[in-house]
Amino acid sequence: MPQREVTIINRLGMHTRAAAKFVKAAALYESEIRLIKGDIEVDGKSIISIMMLAAAKGDRVIIRAIGSDEQKALEDLSKLIGKKFGEDRKGR
């Protein structure tokens, strides 16, 4: 099953707003999205589940997608994390 390992690079980690953006983006795909940190694997379309990961800046997480649009989902969700969830702009 396709997966991609990424590093959380935004200053505040995967806090509520970042998790909400991830969930909103993940919901655009038919594929099942899983997010894994260490031994914990959660539903990537559930903000409560993602918050349980407590992923901080510098943590590595694995995005796993299973479904018809899995490659596109992995690519776009990895980009979202790589772009710091649109945060960390000057003054924020």
- Residues 6 or more apart whose Cβ sits within 8 Å of residue 33: 26, 43, 44, 45, 63, 64, 65, 73, 77
Determine contact, residues 31/65, Cβ cutoff 8 Å. yes
Q: Are strands 60-66 and 3-7 parallel, antiparallel or unpaired?
A: antiparallel
- 36 as an active site residue: the answer is no
| Active-site residue identified among 2, 12, 13, 15 | 15
Q: Which residues are catalytic?
A: 15
